[in-house]
Structure 1
Amino acid sequence: MPLLNTSSEGFIKEVFTSIQGEGKYVGALQLFVRFSGCSIGCKGCDTDYSFTDSFDFNGTSVLSNPIKPERLACIIYDHIKPNSIHSISITGGEPLLQKDFLKELIFYLKGYGYRIFLETSGFFIDRLNEVGDMVDIISLDFKLGESFGVEFSLDEIRKIKDEIKNKIYIKIVIKNNLDFVVGRKILDGLALLNKTEFYLHFYDNCIKINQGIMDYFYSNGVDVFYVPQLHKLLEIK
């Protein structure tokens, strides 16, 4: 495989094989590549995305940080072939904070034949527009203030390129009932992306469904699918 004429290196938190626990592709077998670093500052975050000198690779070895993208892609290919998993989920933290490394890693992984699944927030749209053409699936979070203390911006969502909108699905995590103002903002955000569905998770993974929340969206022409966070139910990563 040809090498890019760059010297980018990146920090990885961990690489592991598991079942996708959220959103549209829940239940799919994926290789998760968790990037270090996040600057959003969600309250109650339960993910360790800290920078470390090394990271675990699928329980088989420990690799040093920072790592070159071509080396990481090669190691992945040596251990997990493209036809043995649904896709590679690039997650975080926030992967778009290491944009240059991310772009190069995707370049090499796509060269090996992997389908690329990018998990990202709605806070770095300019960077998402740069990498969106390279990936196959984009899981985009609409963060809500009542759940995370930070909230997605309609002005940012408006900037998403038309060419990548068909790759995006929306997932939302909530803690409590949604009021009309928040519900209307979600509907407006979905409309900007030409979406008529989204995937709903409850913060505490409560199985009791609040039908009122779902009724609101159905009555406004949007299909909402309540999906318990499967990885938490199975007690896996």
Structure 2
Amino acid sequence: MTSRRALVVEDERTINDALADRLRAEGYTVDQAFDGPSAVDIATARHPDVVLLDVMLPGYDGLEVCRRIQADRPVPVLMLTARDDEADLLVGLGVGADDYLTKPFSMREVVARVSALLRRVERAAALVDQRPAALEVGGVRLDPGTRRTTVTGEAVHLTPTEFDLLLCLAREAGQVLSRERLLREVWDWGDAWASASATRTVDSHVKALRSKVGAARIRTVHGVGYALEDLP
């Protein structure tokens, strides 16, 4: 099997080298960048399968790097941030990041998150090949084959994670899905990752999704999870 290629973008060399060494030990081919412009250049030239991207970088910050590499070609991005500020996290998700980790983090969790991102990419590609039927719930139409979404006839751009999350909710419209179940089915995480930070990942993505499809369409059941409402 061809080795997966990862790009690690982190200006702190010790952290960058530690991430790169661990990923290489897991069988990845790894490129390293220590500033924003280099990250964009390497992503354009090497076409990584996944990007681990620090938010605070010299040159371009991580958000600008994410915008630029996603404009070139879709690639799963795991944001690495020293801040646990919700506004920052939502901006990161809004520019195309699929997931995020707040520092300090364990290398074991990094590897698990990267593996889960790549499994989701493979699963999405397999779904496209199957040409599944489109699904419509209360004015929201999702086409799993083309990965396109419209809300009351208007096209809406969703990140890959947002699309998978909305599709999961739409398949059981009106039913409350727990955060733990969403983590398993959308993020492909096992129960071992159902921590407070993991469930906050779900909450942040739901908030970003609401801003695109309408807040009233996704109902919160406090302490349990979320449901997609079949609005008239």
Band of TM-score, shorter chain: 0.3 to 0.5
TM-score by length of 2: 0.34
TM-score by length of 1: 0.34
RCO comparison, higher one (Cα < 8 Å, 6+): 1
Higher helix fraction (1 or 2): 2
